[in-house]
Amino acid sequence: MSNGKRHFLDTFFYPKSVAVVGAARSPGTLNFQLLSNLVNLSFMGKIYPVNPNAEEILGLKSYPDLRSIEQEVDLAVIAVPASKTLDIVRDCVAKKVKCVTLVPGGFSEIGKQGKALQDEILALLRQHGIRAIGPNALTPVNSRNNLVISFHPVEKLPHGKLSFIFQSGLYEPRFGWLLSGLNLHISKLIDLGNKMDINEVDALEYLSQDPETKVIALHLESIAGDAKEFMQLLKRTTKEKPVIVLKSGRTPEGAEAASSHTGAIAKSSDAVVDAALKQAGAIRVQALDDFFDFAKIFEYLPPLKKNRIAIATGSGGEGVIATDLCLLNGFTIAQLSPETRDKLRSIFPPWDIPVNPLDAGVCYQFNWGTDANAVFLDALADDPNVDCAALATQIHAYTRADPHQFVKPYCDMVKNGKPVVTWVTDPRVGGKLVDQLEYNRIPVYTSGERAIRALSALYHYHAMKNI
């Protein structure tokens, strides 16, 4: 955070030094991975492995305990079994570490005994003014300084303006995929776990003020803080930044499941939460596909305030389906200008008339090798009747074209302030194409329905904000 006043979470995201308590020596184990991510990604700070049985891990000096570290420790990541955690927290107090992340489970989520231990730890930390994330949390992540606390090997950490708040390790098994498969570009990620100390209000407040965060994706199982304060904060935040909210535990059985794994207790019925989220201007999603799909479109594309859409597909049949989906998702089908229709005639067979939705398949069959999408996009970029476009990308056109030339018309249209979504059905064949487009911030989905639903979220957020 650069604007003078430091938020207390800054120490978590920008620690000058991190101690990994429980760092392991055996490659392949989770606690080895915790350390090796920091090393491999070149975390921009000091790293102190703590392990009573090691003198050196991954070329770093290892310490038998926290107290043996000569230098200051900003962040202690505690990754030992729950039963040993209290001792380590006592060491944190003695060492005067600035903040801690508690990784292990086995606390409030398992019942009375766990809750008692958690309370004892919290009391001790509070007494000494040490803030804590967790327990039952793998966090934080910050792409600015390559801080990554994760059990899974992270190969790269692409920098961007999308920040996540998770309540549970939901993202953990798919973290690599988020970064290298979905091509999301992350600023910060915070996993709250049992929210013993730091909760969703703190995290949202921090990200709402963070100049590095443009889009917030928030996963919640419960509201641990003051619900009214949370909703007010959310309302203020959504005026500046889109906030995508996945509030799970919607059903009584789901809420019970949430309680048994992070100790979360749902205080309100889902209908109440739903109404409050809507009023606060949040973009609510029901499951993970939309959560990540929407996060991507808000991260990638400029605002969309009007809804006249142009459609191109590889077959007329898919054009009909896409048209239905656009209408049902709040778009109107753009009436192409006479200039655009003239330009499109060059790629159409003489017996056919260029209309929106465009059947690019017909152009392709008629004029072998033509990239109908490129001609279409070039025309649309200038068409005053068109606000955005949804295109089924034809893989065969890509395989024949220079990648730069292929992607350029998509980028040109977006530069003209007109968001474009596209889809490639087969990720095995289209992988390179997807990466090429997404490298240039053109979002690619696996189907028209997902692309159009995401674009609709973009439109509705920005149209709503204007009211």
Binding to a second copy (CB under 8 A) within 234-293 occurs at 246, 248-251, 253-255, 257-258, 260-262, 286-289
Min CB(253)–a second copy separation in Å: 5
- Cβ-contact 146, 14 below 8 angstroms: no
CA distance readout (Å), 168 to 11, 112, 143, 189, 204: 21, 20, 20, 12, 16
Positions 166 through 225 that interact with a second copy (CB under 8 A): 166-170, 172-174, 176-177, 181, 219, 221
- Cβ-contact 216, 208 below 8 angstroms: yes
Judged by CB under 8 A, the stretch of 42-50, 88-96, 351-359, 436-444 that binds a second copy is 351-359
Buried b (16+ CB within 10 A) or exposed e, 15-36: bebbbbbbbbbeeeeebbbbbb
Nearer to a second copy, 24 or 99 (CB): 24
Judged by CB under 8 A, the stretch of 55-63, 89-97, 407-415, 422-430 that binds a second copy is 422-430
Is residue 355 near a second copy by the rule CB under 8 A?
yes
Q: Which of 60, 124, 265, 333 lies at the binding interface for a second copy (CB under 8 A)?
A: 333
Alpha helices in 263-347 (DSSP H): 270-279, 288-300, 316-328, 338-345
Is residue 354 near a second copy by the rule CB under 8 A?
no
Give the separation between CA 38 and CA 41, rounded to whole angstroms.
5
Positions 387 through 406 that interact with a second copy (CB under 8 A): 392, 394
Nearer to a second copy, 94 or 328 (CB): 328
Is residue 30 near a second copy by the rule CB under 8 A?
yes
Is residue 361 near a second copy by the rule CB under 8 A?
yes
Judged by CB under 8 A, the stretch of 32-40, 122-130, 406-414, 421-429 that binds a second copy is 421-429
Nearer to a second copy, 67 or 267 (CB): 267
Query: How many residues touch a second copy (CB under 8 A)?
Result: 78
Nearer to a second copy, 97 or 451 (CB): 451
Q: Which of 134, 160, 242, 314 lies at the binding interface for a second copy (CB under 8 A)?
A: 314
The residues with which 359 forms a beta bridge, in sequence order, are 313
Positions 88 through 147 that interact with a second copy (CB under 8 A): 105-106, 109-110, 114
Return the DSSP state at 7: P
State residue 373 phi and psi, 5-degree precision.
Answer: -60, -40
Within 10 Å of residue 97's Cβ, how many Cβ atoms?
Answer: 26
Query: What's the distance, Cα to Cα, between the start and end of the chain in Å?
Result: 31
Is residue 231 near a second copy by the rule CB under 8 A?
no
Within 10 Å of residue 42's Cβ, how many Cβ atoms?
Answer: 10
